[in-house]
A and B are shown apart, each in its own frame.
Chain A
Amino acid sequence: MTNKRFKNFAFDAATIGLVLVYLFPIIWLYSASLKPTTDIVGAPFDLLPRSVTLSNFTRMWNAVGFQDALRNSLVVALATAVVVTSIALLAAFSLSRFRYRLQGVFATTILAMQMLPGIVMVVPLIVILRRMNLTDNILGLMITYLLLGLPVAVWMLKGYMDEIPPALDEAAMIDGATDWQVLTRIIIPLMAPATVAVAAFTFMLAWGEYLFALSLMTSTESKTLPLALQAALGRYTIDWGMLTAGGVLISIPPTILFIYFQRYLLGGLTSGSVKG
């Protein structure tokens, strides 16, 4: 028994040790963001800061363009989350509850869209948006994020909707409910947490997106947070303290959202991608 307990303890210790080594860059990023610049450069091996300061965060906060970028990122990520989740709920409802001839084609379309990498779409999308005068424009950026966010959202929501027994819909329809009422009054309330989780995931995708933001948002006022961080690297002599603070600020929202919703997201993501 004691032997088994020792074995468990040894395994726990080894697991914690390896996870810490693996997470070392992240732990270090968070720790450095709280260090005074002299310690970042002078004592880079201290995992815990010797003295704690928030000055890196205030410098980042007051850096040129940072607050604009924060607002742009919030707007584009929130708008994308709302639009994608709404369209995806309707599409998931259609795939989950109706039978029609092109259904298989539509489902395949969503799968195909999910496999489209941003880099092979960037040339035509940017050229089209340039022609429509939608560069340096939040709406233009959001349009590209529909392509990135919609397929995953449809897939995850369809998975959750399939778990709700259709008998519930039928009972409501006998009572005279329309399709729209079935969706909005019965199905969505039953899967509200999963719906919010999918919206959160879409928010994360848009929040951290780099390629399309880089290609579309070139003026200082229109930059999103990843671009503002990049601009901060170029503009000043490298201020690692400020950059680490910026990195932490950008990481916090997706990290919190993901940890909070991971129960819903992990199942959906792995089954969506593995089961197909």
Chain B
Amino acid sequence: MGSRRSAAGYLFFAPALIVFLLVGLYPILYQIYLSFTDWYLLRSLTPVWYGLDGYKRLLADTVLWESFLRTIIWTVGTVALEFVIGLLFALLLNRRSRINAILSGLILLPWVAPSIVVAYTWRWLLDGQYGALHQVLYQFGLVGERSLLVDPSLALLAVTAVSAWKGAPFMTIALLATLKSIPEELYEAAAVDGANLWNQFRFITFPLLIPVSVVMSLILGVLAFYSFDLVWIMTKGGPTDATLLLGVYLFRQFFERNELSYAATIGVAMLLLLLAFSSVYLGLLRKRQTA
């Protein structure tokens, strides 16, 4: 049985392995190779060996470093907002009530909607001429004549809020699932001991939510850090680079400037960061499993 079983095991995994090798590993290795070349499409049709010069350029590229900082702000902002919205809805929807079953499904709609739809809907709500939300903000004196999305000092805040709006349901369902797994008796015992709602939240609910919150923040943080769609569709990184994230910068180098090698160098740098993120993530998982 033993050897036959193991041969069959390899065989059934083979198609997935081929996909991984051809569409995952090979492109990554190719990208690493490209990052050591000079390939500017307008100058040559094939990559030319360039050594470490691409990386020197990367280290000296102030626009890139500014994008990096901006991406960190965007990521932290997105995750923090997602957590606040997610926690609020998870607590509200955890109550046993007939309407909550329906609402828990409906709340997922922003997360399910394709990013092009989300981006256009918000662009339109914030439009300086026709946007309903823009007009409300304008009435309250929170924005001027121009849309938030063309205001260099506020555009990043606006796209961050939209990104959190779209991602929050994922946080909500993860927190909600954890809340539902907390035994009722814990609260009953606490109530007997005279703990009010706030103390029940502080000493029972919140500590029990910490592990899932950390893991979800990391997952949503990686998603945010490597995101592209929403910002590209809403602002293209503008106005004057106010929303230029790393992903958008990479895409610009690749698609608009035809700097294939430099885009690959940025891609490799982003992959290295991902390695760091995922070792933190795997470390956390291991800690949870042994705990």
- Which residues of A are interface residues toward B (Cβ below 8 A)? 8, 11-12, 14-16, 18-19, 22-23, 25-26, 28-29, 40-41, 44-45, 86-88, 90-91, 93-95, 97-103, 106, 109-110, 112-113, 115-128, 143-144, 146-147, 150, 154, 179, 183, 204, 207-208, 210-211, 215, 226, 229-230, 233, 240, 243-244, 247, 250-251, 254-255, 258-259, 262, 266, 269-270, 273-276
Contacts and interface: CB of A to CB of B under 8 A. Distances in A.
A243 B10 CA distance: 49
Contacts of A95: 13
A3 B128 CA distance: 47
A12 B97 contact: yes
Interface in B124-169: 124-125, 130-132, 135, 165
Contacts of A87: 15-16, 19
A226 B228 CA distance: 14
Interface residues of B, number: 85
Interface in B217-244: 219, 222-223, 226-229, 233
Given A95-B13, A124-B264, A179 B8 contact: yes
A143 B118 CA distance: 26
* 5 closest cross-chain pairs (CB), A and B: A208-B114, A98-B9, A117-B226, A91-B16, A94-B12
A226 to B, nearest CB: 4
B262 to A, nearest CB: 10
B56 interface: no
A261 to B, nearest CB: 11
A247 B121 contact: yes
A240 B124 contact: yes
A187 to B, nearest CB: 12
Given A19-B103, A119-B228, A109 B20 contact: yes
B79 interface: no
Contacts, number: 253
A273 to B, nearest CB: 6
B117 A251 contact: yes
B271 A146 contact: no
Contact residues of B: prevailing secondary structure: helix
B31 interface: yes
Interface of B: 5-6, 8-17, 19-20, 23-24, 26-28, 30-31, 34, 85, 88-89, 92-93, 95, 97, 99-100, 103, 105-110, 112-118, 120-122, 124-125, 130-132, 135, 165, 173-174, 177, 212, 215-216, 219, 222-223, 226-229, 233, 247, 250-251, 254-255, 260, 263-264, 267, 270-271, 274, 278, 281-282, 285
A125 B131 contact: no
Contact residues of A: prevailing secondary structure: helix
A124 B27 contact: yes
A100 B3 CA distance: 9
B132 A106 contact: no
B195 to A, nearest CB: 18
Contact of A100 (B6, B99, B132, B223): B6
A274 B212 contact: yes
A91 B132 contact: no
B15 to A, nearest CB: 4
Nearest to A150: B19
Contact of A15 (B100, B109, B116, B130): B100
A95 B11 CA distance: 11
Contact of B30 (A117, A127, A275): A127
Contacts of A262: 105, 108
Contacts of A100: 5-6, 9-10
A121 B89 CA distance: 35
Nearest to B29: A124
A247 B88 contact: no
Given A19-B103, A204-B112, A262-B108, 20 more contacts: A16-B99, A18-B88, A26-B113, A28-B132, A45-B132, A90-B15, A110-B16, A113-B20, A117-B222, A120-B270, A121-B24, A122-B250, A124-B28, A124-B30, A183-B12, A208-B116, A240-B130, A243-B124, A250-B114, A258-B112
